[in-house]
Amino acid sequence: MKLQLALDRITRDQCIGIIQDTEKEIDIIEVGTGVIKEYGMAIVREIRERFPDKTIFIDMKTCDAGKHEALQAFNAGADMTSVMAFSADSTIKDMLHTASQTGNRVMVDLLGVHSRDRIKELDELGVNLVSLHVGKDMQADGAFNTSLFSLLNGFDEIEVAVAGGINMDTISAVVRENPDTIIVGSAITKAENPQKAAAKMKSIIQRMNA
């Protein structure tokens, strides 16, 4: 089980500093949508140059022009990028094809998806990585609800990342659902000591998976 650090709604300098502080604890660096909108592909290139051995995911949240945006991400140095599950099937297929051609991956963001029918359609398209995602605005209604995992029951070939306000109080419940990747943002980036917060979360993951 991997720990993914989500960098969002913070400055470029904060991004670099937090990665440096937590580099040993995290498995995947996520450049969040807000950071991409603020700094563009330049910050992706900088992170790739500074941290050449890390897996980099950039949360483009593509919903159209799939091939173009996938190439934007991969040419900047990303290993993975995202597309919204509500996108046209052709958009998702274009991104999957582009990723297969370049040796990269696409994560399908399930934000707002409540139907297993859509999961079945995604599976038939060849999707093999999804994000169970409670959006920032939706988090005001409460903590991450592990009942979301029921959407993916029976789709054992699909890797699952999970995101949405996961913190010290909720991470254990999420780990028990055995996702492939746990995505944590402000619980690390806004912590008084990001390194200690990341280390504690990593230790919970490792202990519960021992």
Phi, psi angle pair for 84, to nearest 5°: -80, 140
Measured between alpha carbons, how far is 40 from 45 in angstroms, rounded to an integer? 9
In this prediction, residue 192 carries a pLDDT of 97
* Segment 30-47, tens digit of pLDDT: 999 999 999 999 999 999
Q: What range defines the domain where residue 162 resides?
A: 2-208
pLDDT at 193 over 80: yes
Over residues 68-75, mean pLDDT: 98
In this prediction, residue 143 carries a pLDDT of 54
Give how many domains the chain has, as a whole number: 1
Return the structure tokens found at 36. Answer: 């991409």
Check which CATH number belongs to the domain holding 80 and give it. 3.20.20.70
Q: Which of 35-44, 61-70, 108-117 has the lowest mean pLDDT?
A: 108-117
Measured between alpha carbons, how far is 203 from 197 in angstroms, rounded to an integer? 10
Per-chain mean pLDDT for the chain: 94
- By the 8 A CB rule, do 63 and 90 touch? no
Measured between alpha carbons, how far is 18 from 188 in angstroms, rounded to an integer? 9
